[in-house]
Structures are given as structure tokens and as C-alpha cells.
Amino acid sequence: MTYWHNLFYVDKKKIIPLDLYNLLDYETLAYWIMGDGTKSGTGLTLQTQSFTVKESVFIISILMFKFNLKCSIHMQRNKPTIYIHSKSIKLIKQNILYYFTLYEI
């Protein structure tokens, strides 16, 4: 866990590592959803309020390119969150469901 903490925190401030593309895979995406995901209607919201809009756009570009997800920015209390559309959830479900079942054990 220290490894991951050091990647995402510098001087006690949460950051987005520039090599996030290489860090994200289906397993890390599953754990991210379990830790900071919220069901929103038929889609999913990733709670990214601690990031700027620019950082959120950077994350969305990775999610779109690497996983072919349809995402958009939604504002909650004037802070950006990432919304993943329901059709995209169906696309990745088979690749992340395994990690959800591991978590329940």
C-alpha cells in the first residue's frame, strides 16, 4: 500500500501520476470503483472531487482510450466527478466482476 500511496500523494497532496495509463488495468479500476465509486442511475460516478477539471479530463482520456469507456464530467458541489455511462459499465463488467467477488470473501 505504501507504494500506491507514494504514487498518488506528494507533500500530503493527492496528485495524478503522469504514467496513470500504465498503472490502470481492470484490477485497479475495479478497486477504484469499490473504493470511490457510487451508483448513479444506471451508470457509475467516480468521486474525483479532490482533482481539478483538467486532471479529471486527463483521467477520462485514459478511461476512454484504454477501456473504451464513455465518460463525462459531472459537477457535485462545484467539484468534478467522473460519470461512466451504463453501456460502458456493461462493456467492462466481465473484466472487473472477478475482483468484486474476491473483495466479498
**CB hemisphere CA count around 83 (13 angstroms):** 13
Instruction: Report how many helices (DSSP H) and strands (DSSP E) the chain contains, helices first.
Output: 5, 6
> Model pTM?
0.89
* Structural domain includes residue 33: yes
Find the radius of gyration of the CA atoms of the chain. 13
**For residue 41, is it within any domain?**
yes
Please provide residue 84's backbone torsions phi and psi, each rounded to the nearest 5 degrees. -105, 120
Provide the residue range defining the domain that includes 97. 20-104
Residue 34 maps to a domain: yes
CATH number at 95 reads: 3.10.28.10
Q: Is residue 47 part of a domain?
A: yes
Q: What's the number of domains the chain is made of? A: 1
Whether pLDDT at 1 is above 80 = no
Nearest-angstrom CA–CA distance, 86 and 84: 7
**35, part of any domain:** yes
Local confidence band at 102 (pLDDT 50, 70, 90 cut-offs): confident
Residue 87's alpha-carbon distances to 11, 33, 56, 69, 71, in angstroms, are: 38, 16, 20, 8, 10
Confidence of residue 9 (pLDDT cuts 50, 70, 90): very high
- In-domain check, residue 15: no
